[in-house]
Amino acid sequence: MRKGYITFFTGAGVSAESGIPTFRGKEGLWRRYNPVDLATPEAFFRNPSLVWEFYNERRCNIAEAEPNRAHLLIAEAEKVFPLVSLITQNVDGLHQRAGSRNVIELHGNIWKVKCLSCGKEEMNFETPFNEIPPRCKDCDGLLRPGVVWFGESLPYEALELAYDIAKRSKVFIVVGTSCQVFPAAQLPFIAKEKGAEIIEINPEETPVSEIADMSIRKRATKGMEEVFEYLKEKYLS
Ligand code: OAD
């Protein structure tokens, strides 16, 4: 899967209209909770139940959510335009549920669990968990969520692929991310340096706004409708 003409790069804002809170901003999760207590390996080893309570609640919230029009249009773009890639920082799996294939997940997936004893990794859709912290069905070891926590490395292959795609993008569309978390936040800048046209969809200004060729100050659903029309003109007319 080595693509790279039209690239979507998404963050929590793309799922906001599905009712999933973002991390920063007024209603953001990191306003209510301290990531140091909930999203670091140290926090997990200190209190796995507390961390799992947080992820259990998020999983329940996500399970009830539906992909919105922005997710659907990104999935549609993959079918309509040549060489479309999707890189996401989201762990909610809504892009996949909207029909996107080959989603590059930089921060893991909240539906994945990993056993800390036997190392087995699998998808697990139990909501809510019967037992917290959940345990491995094979060896009874402690499970952890398959997401990337602060202080951890991003999955190597996904990150390399994302860099490669960013470098080869002709149009790089940044949807609903504050672009504050590295190394993911570098991607639009790498794409720009290699000559990509940068389009940003975000109601708020972000560090990407400075390098964006087009900033659409709208929510993801409305903004994606505009971008979809723009791409149709550019690629299909
Ligand atoms: P943030 O919460 O940092 O940023 C969300 C962005 O979405 C903000 O810039 C908002 O202005 C924008 N936004 C809000 N509502 C929107 C809407 N309806 N349409 C479009 N944009 C909207 O989320 P991320 O940038 O995704 O990492 O955060 C990056 C990483 O920080 C996350 O992956 C997570 C977090 O800590 C890990 O968990 C490792």
Q: What is residue 1's predicted lDDT score, i.e. its pLDDT?
A: 42
Residue 31: per-residue pLDDT:
86
Cα torsion 37, 42, 47, 48 to 10°: value is 100
As a whole number of Å, the CA-based R_g of the chain is: 18
107, 144, 168, 192: which is the annotated catalytic residue? 107
Residue nearest to atom 32 of ligand 1 (CA): 89
Task: Report whether residue 87 contacts ligand 1, using a CB cutoff of 6 Å.
Answer: no
Q: Is 175 helix (H, G, I), strand (E, B) or coil?
A: strand
| Structural domains of the chain, ranges and CATH numbers in brackets | 1-20+67-107+154-237 (3.40.50.1220), 21-64+110-147 (3.30.1600.10)
pLDDT at 181: 95
Residue of the CA atom closest to atom 13 of ligand 1 = 13
The atom of ligand 1 lying closest to the CA of 179 is 25
Q: In what order do the strands lie in the sheet with 104-105?
A: 104-105, 84-88, 6-10, 171-175, 197-201, 214-216
User: Please, are residues 81 and 149 in contact by the beta-carbon 8 Å criterion?
Assistant: no
Cα of 144 vs centre of ligand 1, distance in Å, is 23
Ligand 1, atom 14, residue with closest C-alpha: 13
Q: What is the pLDDT of residue 32?
A: 85
Q: Give the residue, out of 149, 177, 221, with the most ligand 1 atoms within 8 A of its beta carbon, to mutate for a pocket test.
A: 177
Question: How high is the pLDDT of residue 3?
Answer: 55
Q: Is the CB of 224 under 6 A from ligand 1?
A: no
What local confidence, expressed as pLDDT, does residue 2 receive? 47
Does ligand 1 lie within 6 Å of residue 16's CB atom?
A: yes
Quote the pLDDT of residue 25: 82
Q: Does the annotation mark 95 as catalytic?
A: no
Q: What is the pLDDT along the chain (237 residues), one digit of tens a residue?
A: 445 699 999 999 999 999 999 999 888 898 888 888 899 999 999 999 999 999 999 999 999 999 999 999 999 999 999 899 999 999 999 999 999 999 999 999 999 999 999 999 999 999 999 999 999 999 999 999 999 999 999 999 999 999 999 999 999 999 999 999 999 999 999 999 999 999 999 999 999 999 999 999 999 999 999 999 999 999 888
Within a 10 A sphere around the Cβ of 120, how many other Cβ atoms? Answer: 14
Residue whose token pair is 């007319």: 237
